[in-house]
Chain A
Amino acid sequence: MAREECKALLDALNRTTACYHHLVLTVGGSADSQNLREELQKTRQKAHELAVATGARLTGALRDKSLAAEERAEFERLWVAFSGCLDLLEADMQRALALGSAFPLNAPRRPLVRTGVAGAASAVAARALSARSLRHEAEHDFDVADLQELEREVLQVGEMIQDMEMKVNVPRWTVQARQAAGAELLSGASAGASSAGGMSVEERSGPCDPSKALAATLFSAVLLAAVALAVCVAKLS
């Protein structure tokens, strides 16, 4: 169905954007290298393809006048998420362009900032491209040629955003997000970076103290037991 397809594309785009964000974080730092620039390029191209595909599907769906009201609401929700994601991607691409030109890899008088990040990021890029691993095959002066391409792509993404805004009119304030506040806490166990496997908070009513909840349940259990005992004693006597 069109909706599931759009959702899947949007999830992939979100994943690629997050990975791109991670890779751009390290540009100019101590982990910057030819490989990183190449990974950036591949991730960016994948993100661009996904964005174009998702945009086409969503635009097609929303311009269809014969859509039911709740389907349209669903598509509008996806649209808002998509345009936000595209904005993030464009901002990251612009920053990558600025940083890439400010920190060229082969210039002797402009050393990279030593930030303490030393590892390779190929696993991140592999996750973005949904590939098992990544092969690096760029030639020596790759980053200079890449910058011009990046410039063009930034302009393309900007045009795409404008185009989308012209074609479809979705007022942002009418869209209700599906995830309620605090929804990120569910499935928090799988996304947490720290290793301690604690309990995930079930309650959605803000940050309530788990110890307080435990004390309340214990107290009520004790109270029930006392009441049951009293009833038994009363029955027996």
Chain B
Amino acid sequence: MAAGGRARAQRPNLDKMERMVVSMQDPDEGVKMRSQRLLITVIPHAVAEALHLGALLVRHGYLYPLRDPRSLALRPDETPYRFQTPYFWASTVWPASELDYAIYLAKRSIQRRGALLDHEKGCAPRIWQEHYDQLQWKISHAWDLVVTQAREQLRAMKQRRRGDRLVITCQEQAYWLVNRPPPGVPNVLEQGPERGSCAASRLQTCKSLDFYKWEIEYARKALGRNRLKSSVCLEAYLKFSSQRGPHDPILSGCLPSNPWVTDDDTYWAVNAPTAATPTRLRVERWGFSFQELLEDPVGRAHFMDFLEKEFSAENLSFWEACEQLRYGGQAQVPALVDAVYQQFLAPGAARWVNIDSRTMERTLAGLCRPHRYVLDDAQLHIYMLMKKDSYPRFLKSDMYKGLLTEATVPVETKRRVFPFMRKPRHCSPSPALPTAGPGGGGED
């Protein structure tokens, strides 16, 4: 229940309305006011104006009508309105809590002697009785507080003049009409799904030293961020899409057939991570980027074979050992670091990897306190080495070309649904528009 100074995004339309209401108060440029006589009390500052903006103001509760207090609508005749006190403005007190509503209903109930139902005609006062009963059930543990506060607030109000009392009652009534609208009246305070924008003004009550330190850090990080031109970004995106288009099973259909359509899971068996013979598409994908090659277990195995021919297989082994360290269990970290050091990094090691001196110094210094990321620098160095050096050679090598020619292209199964249909339907329908591609994009 405690609000605790949580930042709340001000809704910009409420902000604008409030500024307008405040400027209406200006004695020189504001709206004309005149006093209103109500029985024997004189209440000053009633306003008679009507615009569309006025209607908005009334619906959000910044003005309320005096003649017909139950309906918040602006009428173009001479009915008087009054400004709502800033305490009840939509931005200050929102959201209205159940406890406050319960206290308000209890006050009304006491004032009208147990009958919340009004005998004047108006919109559904029965709903207040229902709300009241519901609240009694919902927050029954706090009912003591509700009753005591209602009584005390009424007693405090008695200390004021009669005119002020009437005004305050009208204000409260108007406020609750906005915040708990009767059925059939649209709720103006409803907000759509959270946008999550923290660009709105934050309500910071205390700008302490920590806050400024955080801001400085944040600004410094923002300065150092990599800025990329959107043209470059979009080009990369286009290239990615055109390269990957034929490989996507939804866009270009999948061979031999879509398992969801034909109940035949050859497609999954053929493309399993540890399949013996990779498909042609898969082998082509290895040429897209080094990451693709390493992520595919079959690709990695073939790459390891290639590296063994070139006598640089220890690079890939070292990289795999580092991956194991990063993603392995915490208890194995010290032992694994030790093993890696003995095998790859020690001066006379069996499979010594070629790392530059600066990285080697840093790594050796970090080995005193082993944690799972201690070999990150070395791993990155080896990764870039493989990517720049071995990977292009692999793609140009005979081994890769041989793999490409050996790779299978599954045959598309023809599906005949009805015996008398002349044209067989496609068994991997693609929702994309018909494009030239393997398996076609025929619509079903």
- Residue positions of A touching B, CB distance < 8 A: 11, 14-15, 17-19, 21-22, 24-31, 77, 80-81, 84-85, 87-88, 90-91, 94-95, 97-99, 102-103, 110-119, 121, 123-124, 126-128, 151, 154-155, 158, 161-162, 172-173, 175-179, 181-185, 187-188, 191-194, 198, 200-201, 207
Contact = CB atoms under 8 A, between A and B. Distances in A.
Contacts of A158: 2, 4-5
B163 A119 contact: yes
B155 A177 contact: no
A161 B133 CA distance: 29
Given A27-B87, A113-B25, A158-B5, A207 B206 contact: no
B109 interface: yes
A contacts with B: majority SS: helix
Interface in B115-141: 115-117, 129, 133, 136, 140-141
A11 B148 CA distance: 8
B160 A184 contact: no
Contacts of A27: 86-87
Interface stretch (B165-173, B221-229, B405-413): B165-173
Contacts of A179: 143-144, 147
Nearest to A175: B141
A175 B139 CA distance: 11
Q: Classify chain B: how many residues form its interface, as a range.
A: 35 or more
A151 to B, nearest CB: 6
B154 A192 contact: yes
Interface of B: 1-5, 21-22, 25-27, 30, 33, 43-46, 82-88, 92-93, 97, 99, 106, 109-111, 113-117, 129, 133, 136, 140-161, 163-165, 167-169, 171, 203, 205-206
B149 A14 contact: yes
Contact of B156 (A18, A28, A81, A177): A18
B87 A193 contact: no
A48 to B, nearest CB: 16
Contacts of B106: 184
B238 to A, nearest CB: 50
B22 A113 contact: yes
A182 B152 CA distance: 17
B110 A184 contact: yes
A191 B44 CA distance: 27
A76 B146 CA distance: 16
Nearest to A83: B1
A1 B64 CA distance: 50
Contacts of A119: 160-161, 163-164
Contact of B144 (A81, A88, A124, A128): A81
B205 A151 contact: yes
